[in-house]
Amino acid sequence: MNNRQEQLLDLLLNMEQYQTIKALSDTIQVSVSTVHNDLNVIAEMLENKQMQLHKKPSVGVKIIGSDVQKKDLLHGLTTQRKTSTIMSAEIRRMRIVAKLLYYRDGTSLNKLSEEFYVSKNSIVSDLSKIKQELNEHYGLNLIKDYKGTRISGSEKEIRHALSDVVNEFLKLDIEEKDLEENNSRLELSSYYRLQNIFEFDGLEEIEAIITEAEAQLGYKINDLSYMNLVTHIAILIKRLKAGSTYTVDESHIVYTLPDQKETLDIANHIAEKISNQFHIKIPSAEINYIYQYLVCSGIQSDYLHYNNYVDSIDQYYIDIVDEIIAFVSDSIHCDLHEDKELKLSLLVHVVPMMQRMKYKIQINNPLVNEIKSRYSALFSVITLAIEIMGDSWNAISDDEIGFLAIHFQAAIERSVEEKRVIIVCPEGIGFSRLIAQRIERYVSSVKVVDTIPYSSLKTKDLSDIDLVVSTVPILECSKPVVEVTSFISEFDIQGINNFLIENSMYEKEGEFKHLLEIIDDDNIFIEEKEISKEEVIHKMSQLMSDKGYVDKEFEESIYKREHIRSTEIGNMVAIPHGSEVYVKAPTIGITVLKHPMIWGKQKVKIIFLIAANLEDLAHTKSMLRDLYSLIDSQKHITLLKDVTTADEVIHIIETE
């Protein structure tokens, strides 16, 4: 039932007399035909509640039912509105699939229709979509028989699906009001959404158990892992209460190392606490999973001292982090080898990340799409860096890559040499000081040396100035200019940071000569018509094969990698790539689409098909460094999106 139908139902429940369709139409400001359609939905819902929508010709309609029934229904409507500000079809389906996943015995059309205040036809439509998604993504089946509607499949996939539903529910953009403050460590909105999706009041008890475990572990679990652990335990409780549990085989029993025995003891203690608090028995296979989550949880880095932590880490992990730092440093022409803060933060993330890969535990990154949009070039370099780590690294999700990208972005911003900046602001000294303070607070690599009015710019000596930040357009200036708003927004700050980083890269490199060396003009396409992802890949890889750059098997290896992880990287750019085994000579193909397409989950307009091998690693890194600089240049990408010929593509890349 949508908001309009709820409003109509609310209106009828509060009216004792018959109401004409025209009067109802005028009150809620919709057409008479819309009211007729909505009344049919309401009539079906009322029938399920042993009530009636009575229609009297030439008089109107009214609800027939006892005062108690009407009061209960009104209360249900009020509760439903509090539960979700916007009960859209998407949210309703999320809550239905969650209910099906954590209740073993299933439910019925009538029960779902009553709970969500929609017609049975709407529920049937919801279940049809749910059935398809569960089968495609998790291999689960939606069964309808005399026992009702329920989900069948492995416990592992049921919990995987439930975890994904919870994560998607947490990401929804819903305006929520009147949330009561509490003592939860979780963000307020997340706390109430978890409570909502699980239909569960035990979150405070779960958090208390985890807090006690942290005291025993001797460190604080990082916030994201904390959220995942709370979610996992809530799922565990719901499934055990429904009579479902992992088998020993499904839990992939962990063969505990001697130095991890303490963590296993803590997992047993958590299980005992859960058992006592929620009156359920925790089998050994479930304890193994709690243990795995503890092992896979990251430590808050502010609890660590660099030397002490690095000395305690296995050399295997240190070598991996050093290798990633070396590859990214060379690929972006920014030396990050000596950044201890980067190395520490990567170790803190990579150690539990590799445990998550081993146990196939997914972690949710709520900002991954924003990261891909803002730092698309860096995201692409890290994605390609992972390719050289071996096949076992192909399982890394975009969520994990997003976290790595944030650590590297912070290091890049730290590496930018301090720039001397002047502020040009005609609004007066107050605004000038505000802008200067915000810039110096949020952009660590600048020093504001002066604030001047626009009229003084022409006579100002700019010889020792690196950048001019202005609130008004400046047409002529001997130094680079970044225009900002008078109130210096978050986007203004980001723009200054991006400019400084990009400018720093160009100072070091200056051109895309390595990229131009391997681009074949014949493998640049401008697609005027709408085209599929598969057609783009086939067209580009076929030409590469015909010209001797790659073997025929290269195309199939691209599809295999796309199946593991889609290669759109934000900013309407995708970087598909195949196995280096089938690359004879490195090259990059480029396709620019007139009509953007959905590549994985995001729209794409520019496709760089990368064929690179590791025989000449130095040359490969030089090529990737140029590609990174190109993708990271907002100016170049904006120009590429609007090209109409292959010659224009080459001209843009040749132009500094």
Q: What per-residue string of b and e applies to 394-404 under the rule 16 or more CB within 10 Å gives b?
A: eebbbbbbbbb
Domain boundaries, the chain: 3-83, 89-176+185-295, 304-415, 419-508, 513-654
For the stretch 80-111, pLDDT in tens is 554 444 447 788 888 899 999 988 777 888 88
Amino acid identity at 415: S
Edge to edge, the sheet with strand 481-483 lists 446-452, 419-424, 467-470, 481-483
CA gap 294, 106 in Å, rounded: 32
Which strand (E) or helix (H) includes residue 63? strand 60-64
HEC profile for 562-626?
A: HHHCCCEEECCEECCECCHHHECCCEEEEEEEEEEEECCCCEEEEEEEEECCCCCHHHHHHHHHH
Q: What is the pLDDT of residue 173?
A: 63
CA angle 570, 572, 577 (to 5 degrees): 75
Q: What is the pLDDT of residue 257?
A: 42
Q: DSSP 3-state assignment of 264?
A: helix
CATH of segment(s) 304-415: 1.10.1790
Q: Name residue, tokens 């947490």.
A: 170
CB count within 10 Å of CB 632 equals 22
The reply to whether the predicted model has a pTM over 0.75 is no
Which CATH number, 3.40.190.10, 3.40.30.10, 1.10.150.240, 3.40.930.10, labels domain 513-654? 3.40.930.10
Token pair belonging to 133: 């998604």
Question: Which residues touch 102 (CB under 8 Å, ≥6 apart)?
Answer: 162, 198, 235, 238, 239, 242
Instruction: Compute CA distances 299 → 135, 242, 611, whole Å.
Output: 36, 33, 38
CA gap 485, 297 in Å, rounded: 41
Task: Tell me phi and psi for residue 565, to 5 degrees.
Answer: -155, 120
Q: DSSP 3-state assignment of 474?
A: coil
Angle between helices 155-171 and 188-198 (to 10 degrees): 140
Find residue 424's DSSP bridge partners.
Answer: 452, 470
For the stretch 503-516, pLDDT in tens is 665 444 446 888 89
Decide: residue 430, CB within 10 A, 0-12 exposed, 13-18 middle, 19+ buried: exposed
Q: What dihedral do alpha carbons 22, 27, 29, 35 form, nearest 10°?
A: -50
CB count within 10 Å of CB 306 equals 13
* Architecture of the 3-83 domain: Orthogonal Bundle (1.10)
Q: How confident is the chain (656 residues) per 10-residue block, as mean pLDDT?
A: 76 84 81 86 84 89 87 70 54 89 84 80 90 90 87 88 86 67 84 85 92 87 84 91 71 46 87 94 86 75 68 87 89 86 87 80 75 83 77 75 87 82 78 80 83 87 91 88 82 80 55 87 92 94 95 93 85 90 93 92 92 79 84 87 93 82
| CB half-sphere exposure, 71, CA atoms < 13 A | 3
Amino acid identity at 154: S
Q: Name residue, tokens 């590549």.
A: 599
- The DSSP letter of residue 299 is B
3-83 and 304-415 share one fold: no
Q: What is the pLDDT of residue 78?
A: 61
Q: What dihedral do alpha carbons 75, 79, 80, 86 form, nearest 10°?
A: 130
Instruction: Compute CA distances 85 → 12, 77, 165, 177, whole Å.
Output: 21, 12, 18, 8
Amino acid identity at 227: M
For the domain made up of 419-508, give the CATH fold.
Rossmann fold (3.40.50)
Q: What is the pLDDT of residue 510?
A: 47
Contact at 8 Å (CB) between 628 and 381?
yes
Q: Name residue, tokens 């509490």.
A: 182
Question: Which residues touch 438 (CB under 8 Å, ≥6 apart)?
Answer: 488, 493
- The DSSP letter of residue 152 is E
Rg of the chain (C-alpha set):
29
Q: What is the pLDDT of residue 253?
A: 43
Contact at 8 Å (CB) between 447 and 440?
yes
CA angle 537, 542, 546 (to 5 degrees): 155
Contact at 8 Å (CB) between 367 and 360?
no
Task: Tell me phi and psi for residue 506, to 5 degrees.
Answer: -70, -30
Question: Which residues touch 82 (CB under 8 Å, ≥6 apart)?
Answer: none
Question: Which residues touch 330 (CB under 8 Å, ≥6 apart)?
Answer: 621, 625
Report strand pairing: 568-570 vs 524-527: unpaired
Contact at 8 Å (CB) between 165 and 97?
yes
Q: What is the pLDDT of residue 302?
A: 57
CA gap 63, 71 in Å, rounded: 12
Nearest CA to 27 among 60, 57, 49, 54? 60
Instruction: Compute CA distances 426 → 438, 441, 452, 622, whole Å.
Output: 17, 22, 8, 44
60 torsion bin: left (phi>0), alpha (psi -120 to 50), beta (else): left
Token pair belonging to 39: 């009344």
CA gap 656, 651 in Å, rounded: 10
Angle between helices 109-116 and 32-48 (to 10 degrees): 120
